Amino acid sequence: MVKPVAMDISDWNKWHQEYEDSNSELAHRARLVQKQVVAVVDTRAPSPVSIVSICGGQGRELFGALEDHPRRGEITGRLVELDPDNAAHAREWAHRAGMDALQVVNADASLSETYDNLGRADLVILSGVFGHIDEKDQKRTVSFLREICDTDSTVVWTSYEVRPERTAFIESCFNENDFERVAFELTPNDTFGVVVERNQGIPLPLRLNRKIFSFGSSRKRREPGRSTNTDDSGG
């Protein structure tokens, strides 16, 4: 039986400290995501590869994966992060890695206009997002992906395997939207999954001025008496 993970979510900058323990489940998850990010870049035709990281934090799964990659200068797209310190961290990392063609924006990833003037993403990363939003938001977020992806684009998302029923629900949303699962890997203690989906459907036009999710909506159902500063809803 996999134990729930309680994490401090009062400060999203401090939250990233858990990555310093290279044996933590979070660090293992990041490495699995990074592996998939490299796999996408390796298999895309030699032209710019557009990557969108939704709630991208400090950019671990993106710059951590590609900072030494020979094609890092060809990466375009956008990392969207609300915490200003995390966004600054990610922007500095992008610069150091020679990846300035990818925009790091300190903005609200839940608003559709944040993805305006971007073009179609070859790869979208949602790491540590679905566990923090409720089913309605999960459904809306998955269908929104068709507005920023092309046919054949890849989505890499992380699941919280302490609650496998949630993974099944999110997967059903992907299926309803013509995505097909192409890979799934677990962290060593089975806490997190890393899921790779390929878009088999036709892309949809981006509709502006919409709220796609409310980060933290999954906690609204929390029973009374629990701390508001810790979370076991999915890293």
86 is an interface residue for ligand SAM by CB under 6 A: yes
Distances (CA, A) of 97 to 25, 55, 62, 67, 87: 26, 20, 11, 5, 15
Tokens of 37: 């990010």
Q: Does 77 bind ligand SAM (CB under 6 A)?
A: no
Instruction: Return the residues of window 2-21 that contact ligand SAM according to CB under 6 A.
Output: 12
At a CB cut-off of 8 Å and minimum separation 6, what does 17 contact? none
Beta pairing partners, 192: 160
Q: With respect to ligand SAM, which residue has the nearer C-beta, 111 or 201?
A: 111
Residues facing 174 on adjacent strands: none
**Whole-number Å distance between alpha carbons of 45 and 42:** 8
Under rule CB under 6 A, residue 104 binds ligand SAM: no
Mask for 31-70, x = binds ligand SAM (CB under 6 A): ------------------------xxx--xx---------
Task: Provide the angle, in degrees to the nearest 10, between the axes of the packed helices 164-176 and 135-148.
Answer: 40
Interface residue with ligand SAM, options 24, 127, 138, 154 (CB under 6 A): 127
Least distance from ligand SAM to the Cβ atom of residue 158, Å: 7
Q: How far is the CB of 37 from ligand SAM (least distance, A)?
A: 12
User: Which residue ranges make up the site for ligand SAM (CB under 6 A)?
Assistant: 12, 55-57, 60-61, 80-83, 86, 108-110, 127-128, 215, 235
